[in-house]
Amino acid sequence: MTKICFKEYDGTEHVVDAKDGESVMRVAIENGVPGLQAECGGNLSCSTCHGYLDQKFYDLLPKPDENEEMLLDGTIAPEPTSRLTCQIIVTPELDGMTVRWPESQY
Ligand code: FES
């Protein structure tokens, strides 16, 4: 099982077991992790699943596509390692990844 740590803006951590093949957003929602809304349910149209990755894991993943880049540009506080977590699929390589949530999704 792949372990992912979700870190709230205040530093509270939630380490959960993530099923390979699921989106990171879905893993957070299913485990009751606070800090995201995921209003569009993963359809790449809301950007309320925005999280920050460590550089190492950001570099492991395929780059965000044009639509994701556009939505990330519209988030309140994008950073160089920002991703929409509904677009990240869990694989064993992501074991140990930390996703930090921004202060707000709006
Ligand atoms: S859940 Fe809406 S863009 Fe990710």
Q: How many angstroms separate the alpha carbon of residue 95 from the centre of ligand 1?
A: 22
Number of domains the chain contains: 1
The predicted model scores a pTM of 0.97
- Buried-exposed string 17-42: b where 16+ CB fall within 10 A, e elsewhere: ebeeeebbbbbbbeeebebbbbebeb
Provide the 10 A C-beta neighbour count for residue 62. 8
Q: What is the pLDDT of residue 1?
A: 86
CATH code where residue 37 lies:
3.10.20.30
Distance (Å) from CA 66 to ligand 1 centroid? 14
**What are the backbone angles phi and psi of residue 33, rounded to the nearest 5°?**
-75, 125
Nearest-angstrom CA–CA distance, 38 and 14? 17
**pLDDT number for residue 31:** 98
pLDDT digit string (tens) for the chain, length 106 residues: 899 999 999 999 999 999 999 999 999 999 999 999 999 999 999 999 999 999 999 999 999 999 999 999 999 999 999 999 999 999 999 999 999 999 999 9
Q: Give the domain range for residue 69.
A: 2-105
Pocket of ligand 1 (CB under 6 A): 25, 38-40, 42, 44-49, 84, 86
